[in-house]
Chains A and B, each alone.
Chain A
Amino acid sequence: SQQGEEDPQALSIQEGENATMNCSYKTSINNLQWYRQNSGRGLVHLILIRSNEREKHSGRLRVTLDTSKKSSSLLITASRAADTASYFCATDEGGSYIPTFGRGTSLIVHP
């Protein structure tokens, strides 16, 4: 099935650095969502960005959407050890009204 694909698969950074992860998709979308999953827990919704939006912010999170490139990026600024988690994008591409999830980016922030 069609789904967003996150890149990179894994990211390791030092506390205080910025972390950027990307999500690419193949067809048109109505919206794109980012989720976070801490080890052993369920996913938690971070941000939803609609196809007519280009950028959204939430605290230290910044999400951009480039529909011409069919890609989105999630930027976490001034990362903390507590940001260590897996991050997933979910898209409703291909006309599906149920979002499908990518395989995620595993982020490790070293204190």
Chain B
Amino acid sequence: NAGVTQTPKFRVLKTGQSMTLLCAQDMNHEYMYWYRQDPGMGLRLIHYSVGEGTTAKGEVPDGYNVSRLKKQNFLLGLESAAPSQTSVYFCASSYSAHQPQHFGDGTRLSIL
């Protein structure tokens, strides 16, 4: 049972480039989340989804877009990367909002 898998694990981008981070879960969870983690800031919610075909904004959504075309996948896109988006990105999933979240091991993204 793989749980939550994030791809890629590391990436370096130049300012202005675009990329997509992929999150896949095999637990049939309805809810999926994207967070960023910066030193001293804890985890901040970027976007989340309560089911296939739905997305919603979190605390820090600017500069990011998401899609949930399939229940098991949640994609995070950066259309025009900025140095301020250098961070570690975590994906998580859960059965419902009040159930424990299962996390992937993160994507370390550097934007030069």
Q: Cβ of A3 < 8 Å from any Cβ of B? A: yes
B59 touches A1 (CB 8 A): yes
Residues of B contacting A40 in the complex (Cβ-Cβ under 8 angstroms) = 105-106
Stretch at the interface among B11-19, B65-73, B95-103: B95-103
Question: Which residues 48-102 of B have a CB within 8 angstroms of A?
Answer: 48, 58-59, 90, 92, 97-102
Q: Contacts A42-B4, A43-B90 given; indicate if A103 touches B42 (C-beta within 8 A).
A: yes
A45 touches B102 (CB 8 A): yes
Q: In the complex, which residue of chain B has the Cβ closest to the Cβ of A103?
A: B42
B90 touches A42 (CB 8 A): yes
A104 touches B100 (CB 8 A): no
Q: Contacts A33-B100, A42-B90 given; indicate if A88 touches B43 (C-beta within 8 A).
A: yes
Stretch at the interface among A52-60, A71-79, A94-102: A94-102
- As a 0/1 sequence over residues 83 to 109 of chain A, the CB contacts with chain B under 8 angstroms (1 = contact) are 000001010100001111111100000
Q: How far is the CB of B57 from chain A (nearest CB, A)?
A: 11
B59 touches A43 (CB 8 A): no
B98 touches A41 (CB 8 A): no
- Whole-angstrom CA separation of A104 from B100 in the bound complex: 17
Q: Cβ of A81 < 8 Å from any Cβ of B? A: no
The interface of chain A, by Cβ under 8 A from chain B, is 1, 3, 30-31, 33, 35, 40-45, 48, 88, 90, 92, 97-104
